[in-house]
Amino acid sequence: MNIQDFSVIKTRLNKIKKDLNLQELTDAFYIMAIGSEANLQDTEIIDCITDNLFLVKNSSTGGHDRGIDAIYIENSNESGRVKVHLFNCKCATTFEQAQKSFPSSEIEKIVTYVDNLMNRNEAWIENANSILKEKTKEIWDLFENHYPEFYIHICSNLEKTMDKNEFDRMQKSLSKYSDINILQHNIDYYVKINNYDRPTNINARFKVAEKELFEKSDGDIRALIVNVRADELIRIIIDDEEIRNNVNFEDYEIIKEKAIIEDIFYDNVRLYKKNKTRINKGIIATAEI
């Protein structure tokens, strides 16, 4: 790691902090770290966070977080399995702080949580914060009909991952459980993601009536506002260049068989990721009333 790498990530975190009106860089790191593993909207990512300090600052809920900063439950994948992602995160705010290894003191917290999770210790989780308690109970409910896979993400913007001997100790402590994968992500991992996480440029053509064009100026910035039908908007972002450039296209049933080019969405523009989180479930429930 060099200071340029640290600056790349810090710049990214500052932008997230500003865009989402967060209080600390450490808060922004949760958004980046979880978002790197789960392609969710920012509000959905926040819904995954169980870190008590974050919750107190942003929603006034209290209680223990048991060393688990976030939990994301991923719906059944192609193999029919459900994935449970547990996150433990550390964020350095200075270059000097980043020149360290991930603290091994977090091992006991993670192992203790997993032990109590697997033994369904309801008394142990009772004084946890409401979000961690809710997520833990949701995992227990999964075992009624599923056999979930677990992924423990050790995330930081530090130069070094956990000491090898300490990491081996953690793996040994959790070896009594099956289907638990431990993944370490340090600053090199996030620099690589942020260097390659760029939008894809595509070309498309569409036509509109002149009366549906509106020009807007703000200082030296000029914008053109255009009314576009929803089916036309979908047509110009699908993975078929011939259809994207066909301004006389009419058979919109064909579009149902095409895929949207997700790489064109970047920054705060995200695709809807279905009924996966408490926020989206609440929106759907409200819409159905």
User: Is the pLDDT higher at 217 or at 56?
Assistant: 56
Examine the pLDDT at 96 and tell me if it is beyond 90: yes
Domain ranges across the chain = 3-198, 210-264
Handedness of CA 54, 182, 118, 111 (dihedral sign): negative
Whole-structure pTM value: 0.71
Task: Give the model's pLDDT for residue 43.
Answer: 86
pLDDT value for 78: 56
- For the cut 70, the answer to whether the pLDDT of residue 273 exceeds it is no
Backbone φ and ψ of 74, nearest 5°: -95, 125
Using DSSP's 3-state secondary structure scheme, residue 265 falls into coil
Report the CATH number of the 3-198 domain: 3.40.91
| Alpha helices for 39-100 (secondary structure H) | 42-48, 52-59, 95-98
Dihedral-angle region of residue 215 (phi above 0 means left; psi in -120 to 50 means alpha; beta otherwise): beta
Handedness of CA 49, 53, 55, 61 (dihedral sign): positive
> What are the Cα distances from residue 118, in Å, to 34, 122, 148, 234, 273?
23, 11, 12, 45, 28
How much is the CA Rg of the chain, to the nearest whole Å?
22
Mean pLDDT over the full length of the chain? 85
| pLDDT value at 281 more than 70 | no
- Kindly report, residue by residue over 236-245, the tens digit of the pLDDT: 988 889 999 9
Look at residue 161 and tell me whether its pLDDT is greater than 60: yes
If you average pLDDT over residues 91-110, what whole number do you get? 93
Overall average pLDDT of the 29-55 stretch: 90
Tokens of 58: 């942003």
Sheet hosting strand 149-156, strand order edge to edge: 70-74, 83-90, 149-156, 180-185
pLDDT at residue 209 tops 90? no
pLDDT greater than 50 at residue 66: yes
- On the question of pLDDT at 269 being above 80, the answer is no
d(CA 245, CA 203): 8
Contact call for residues 36 and 48 (beta carbons, < 8 A) = no
Highest mean pLDDT among 55-69, 238-252, 271-285 belongs to: 238-252
Output the pLDDT for position 268.
Answer: 45
Contact call for residues 185 and 154 (beta carbons, < 8 A): yes
- What per-residue confidence (pLDDT) applies to 155? 96
- Other beta carbons within 10 angstroms of residue 25's beta carbon come to 17
The residues pairing with 66 across neighbouring beta strands, listed in sequence order, are none
Q: In this structure, what are the phi and psi dihedrals at residue 49, rounded to the nearest 5 degrees?
A: -75, 130
